[in-house]
Amino acid sequence: MLGEENFMFQENRMGKRLTLFFFIVLFITMMNFSQTILVTSPEEWQNWCLGKKYTISWTKNGNMNSKVNILLYDANTNTKVSNIALSIPNNGFYYWLISNTIIPANYKIIVETVDHAVSDQSDVFVLYDCCRFHFITPPETGNFIAYKNGNLNIQWTSSDCSSGTFIVAVYRVNQSTGENISPGILRVGVSNSSTSYLWHIPNNIISGKYRAVLSYGPYFKESTKFTIMQPYYPFPNRFRSYDLRVIVIPRPVHDSMWWRLHINFKQVFNYLGKLKSTGTFLVEVVKDRSSIRVGYYNKGKFKWVASHTGDVANVKFRKKRKKYSSLVSDKMRMSILIKDLATSRIIKQINLKFAK
């Protein structure tokens, strides 16, 4: 009997130990289930730009380690790309400045405690280069003309181009295929913060069609095909008489050519100041049968009619494009007339001649 009681006592003690063991296992299991991390940002298929700052956020439940690691994984291969942050406070958020060196692709983020006991991964999101840019000059569409031995200010707008450089290039265009001819005649790198590049067009460049190309990393934009041509006149182009200076600037308008003349009237004013007559005088510029009124002189004062800056008048003549060469030739005749307004009598005629 004594031995039987002893056996029952030992069996009872074993049962209590097993029960305690199962309770401990159940407690640990419940504790593990109550410890969770849930990554809430980035969201599924959200687009994040390289070079910008975003908030990685997560929620936590239960008692867990006070430090976490944040890891970046390739969503396609499920391999770790980099450590975003290590051993940071487990406070539910982290401001991440995304490096521009990361390859644009699909990714996911893992947040885990430093003891690897609790973790979660985000939905798949997209990292990409958000840089956007467009040409202003030359434009991406339309017509544009530039001249040899002149300056072309290549301009563009850009946004979210946080690092790296723009490559500005100019190519001659194959007239038959419309393709760019390599190598280009210009290729230069400028800062990502720049929005223009001033190019002095060589005088020995071949006249024809060209195209500007602006590239940033794998992205590029092309301008419209534009024309580089020989200017119709040498720079600067002058008509000389009584120290007057006239500069001719062509302005293409459909089938005609506008010629803007900048004429310094200082010597004319000196002449008018010497007139002793008290009448009113008309000053005009005459070419062929066209005349443009510049202004009126009366009692020592000159009243402008034409557009002007200081002593310089700005007048325009229109000429058919196919005959533009006749305007700047040795046979050209242009005059400044000073007339008595009352009698229309010409008081003074100043003939301007083209000087090469």
d(CA 102, CA 96) in angstroms, rounded, equals: 13
How does DSSP classify residue 326? G
Which domains are seen in the chain, by residue range?
Answer: 36-128 (2.60.40.10), 132-229 (2.70.50.70), 238-355 (2.60.40)
Query: The dihedral of CA 187, 189, 195, 199: what is its sign?
Result: negative
pLDDT tens, per residue, the chain with 356 residues: 545 555 454 555 555 566 666 666 555 555 555 789 999 999 999 999 888 889 999 999 989 999 999 999 999 999 999 999 999 999 999 999 988 788 889 999 999 999 999 999 999 999 988 888 888 889 888 778 888 888 899 999 988 776 678 999 999 999 889 899 988 999 999 988 889 999 999 988 998 999 999 988 778 899 989 999 876 543 333 434 333 444 444 444 444 455 566 677 777 777 787 776 677 888 888 876 778 888 888 878 888 888 777 777 777 666 554 444 444 444 556 778 888 888 788 888 877 655 44
pTM of the complete model beyond 0.85:
no
Q: What is the pLDDT of residue 57?
A: 96
Amino acid at 75: A
Q: What is the pLDDT of residue 111?
A: 97
Q: Are 145 and 227 in contact (CB under 8 A)?
A: yes
Q: What is the pLDDT of residue 273?
A: 78
What is the distance between the terminal CA atoms of the chain, rounded to a whole angstrom? 140
